[in-house]
Structure 1
């Protein structure tokens, strides 16, 4: 099963590096662990698996020794960030922005973690940049030293990759606000609505991740070191700031949308007002021309050469009188 499911596998040496595993060596390292004394066992074993591979649940239970209830939680279709202490280890679900080509960042990817003092299993459905970075750092000798350090680096990597996405959203909103100050008609309401929806989708998972990482930092596991806890608390502060930024983005987008809608309504009202005034001025003039245009006998001025000019002068006089009336009433 490991030949299809294994994405990354390492035995950590405790100094930032380790031994990279193949499916065969990973199975061997996993099988050797229970049979050795704690002092003779290899370093921390990390297996990163593709959770879409059939038969993974049975392998996790019988070969990796995970509790069945934990396996159900790890393989659940849709989960929110969480951190739960179990008698045998920690169950952690975290989310990261989707930075894969052609994907939307707000379609956040889940990484599920089962961690004990010397064994870590991570599960993913699609590639996650933060996990790939952990693999690269181990290859360079700059990786995690133990499980606590591994979890701290994972949480930090997932969090750090949110910053460029939020910066892009803030820059887009800043540009819209500048456009609205010069000409609100240049701002696309659909783009503003999409930006607000994107911030809401991100906040849906970032906010509970704040609580999950905080619970991880406060866990009572004996193998959680002080440096790892300090790093996790710093990550909690970063996530808190991102949640506040997302809230501010949503509020700014809502205010900008309301302001644009109000300006559009005012512009429509002014247009309707002008059309109403024009219609009011031409209504009596149209009545006179319509009345004089009927083809019946007895129309005055039919035989007079001056009748046309008299009618024009009368229409002009009525128009001026209407303008003076509207001006005096303050409607112009």
Structure 2
């Protein structure tokens, strides 16, 4: 699907005009959006716009790292938006020329639709030109990172609130999933941060002071996103350490129980073993009350040992 928007020299904003009008009418700037293009539409990058083959290759072969390349009379951007459902990066390619913006993407991107609406609703800003259009697109892409990170943040808070010995295994799985998602976001946010730094300091794009202020705002947002990202990564590390501590405490309790049980039964097993030997001359075997006496002795030993453990405070360790 091809969508067009342009501001004519008469300061009239046009929508969805044929591509041929770009050559037959005079525009101050225009924006052509190639959304989910078929093969014929994708071929327009070469046949109609005559872009460099390397940029076309980057458009057709997904998924490239966010970057900024300069050619004779235009700049080529590879941008990443984040799918809020899968938390996976989706590529948007953007050409910024002398008076035009061309976007190319294989998936529907809500951020582009929002940018389009924002441009339409701000007539006073149309005259700022095509750089303003590019700013609106990149700004909306970056703005859409925040809900994704906040969603992960809320999920981490839920994990932290429900952290308990009974749910530690489920929590561990959730933490590893969150860390994986944060790593994906990091692979997008850091290159986008570098890209905006190049845009602001580029001598090829030649931003005005006002335009630099707008792009610097996006750059600041990416810095904030980086801080939130690192904060969440540190939080996952803290939660993981807490989970390992809970696991260690559980294992220590199990070992303590086994140790106490073994300590109680070792002397009892020794007594039972002694009188279980088949020697002919064992006078206790002929005692009338020998069996009862041995049971009483074993009971006294076991009870005494449990009382000693309680006095030492070892039995209190099992209370949660």
Which residue number corresponds to residue 97 of structure 2?
Answer: 116
Query: What SS does the aligned partner of 1:26 have?
Result: coil
Describe the superposition over 1:155-212 as per-residue Cα deviations: whole angstroms up to 9, x where unpaired. 11111111122112222222333334xx354451111111111111101111110111
> Higher mean Cα deviation, 149-158 or 210-219?
210-219
Describe the superposition over 1:99-133 as per-residue Cα deviations: whole angstroms up to 9, x where unpaired. 4xxx31x2122110111121211001101111011
Conserved in 1, the CA contact under 8 Å of 2:36 and 2:107?
no
Q: CA RMSD in A?
A: 3.0
Aligned match for 1:76, one of 43, 61, 74? 61
Which residue number corresponds to residue 38 of structure 1?
Answer: none
* Cα shift at 1:92: 0.9
Which residue number corresponds to residue 26 of structure 1?
Answer: 18
Segments of structure 1 that go 5 or more residues without pairing to the other structure are 34-40
TM-score, normalised relative to structure 1: 0.82
Relative to structure 1, the CA distance from residue 13 to residue 27 in structure 2 (aligned partners, 3 Å threshold; closer, same or farther) is: closer
Describe the superposition over 1:304-323 as per-residue Cα deviations: whole angstroms up to 9, x where unpaired. 54223211222134335656
Which residue number corresponds to residue 5 of structure 2?
Answer: 10
2 CA distance for matches of 1:195 and 1:45? 41
- The number of residues matched between the two structures is 311
Conserved in 1, the CA contact under 8 Å of 2:45 and 2:51?
yes
1 CA distance for matches of 2:299 and 2:95? 89
Query: What SS does the aligned partner of 2:51 have?
Result: coil
Query: What SS does the aligned partner of 1:27 have?
Result: coil
Conserved in 2, the CA contact under 8 Å of 1:74 and 1:113?
no
Which residue number corresponds to residue 77 of structure 2?
Answer: 92
Aligned match for 1:131, one of 112, 119, 126? 112
Segments of structure 2 that go 5 or more residues without pairing to the other structure are 316-320
Greater RCO (Cα-Cα under 8 Å, separation 6 or more):
1
Query: What SS does the aligned partner of 2:162 have?
Result: helix
Query: What SS does the aligned partner of 2:271 have?
Result: helix
1 CA distance for matches of 2:126 and 2:147? 24
Which residue number corresponds to residue 36 of structure 1?
Answer: none
Conserved in 2, the CA contact under 8 Å of 1:51 and 1:75?
no
* Cα shift at 1:257: 0.3
